[in-house]
């Protein structure tokens, strides 16, 4: 699960802004699972949703190992 969340974060960071549906298509998992993963990222202040259904990364500094 952590690997998937990390992959989702990196995908959003690379693309800039993505939709929830883009993530569903890219990762081949259900919309509910994507939403749970995005909730984890949002809770940790790594992504934000400036418009409903669109996601972008925040300016929070992180170290990816």
The per-residue pLDDT for range 24-47, each reduced to its tens digit, is 999 999 999 999 999 999 999 999
Residue 10 has pLDDT above 90, yes or no: yes
Residue 1 has pLDDT above 70, yes or no: no
Both tokens of 65, joined, read 């190992």
Three-state SS annotation for the chain: CHHHHHHHHHHHHHHCEEEHHHHHHHHCCCHHHHHHHHHHHHHCCCEEEEECCEEEECCCCCCCC
Query: Does the model's pTM come out above 0.75?
Result: yes
**Which domains does the chain carry?**
4-57 (1.10.10.10)
Residue 51 has pLDDT above 80, yes or no: yes
């Amino acid at each position: 699960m952590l690997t998937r969340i990390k992959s989702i974060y990196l995908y959003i960071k690379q693309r800039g802004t993505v939709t929830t549906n883009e993530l569903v298509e890219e990762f081949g998992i259900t919309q509910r699972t994507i939403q749970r993963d995005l909730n984890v990222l949002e809770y940790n202040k790594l992504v934000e949703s400036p418009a409903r259904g669109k996601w972008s990364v925040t300016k929070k500094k992180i170290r990816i190992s």
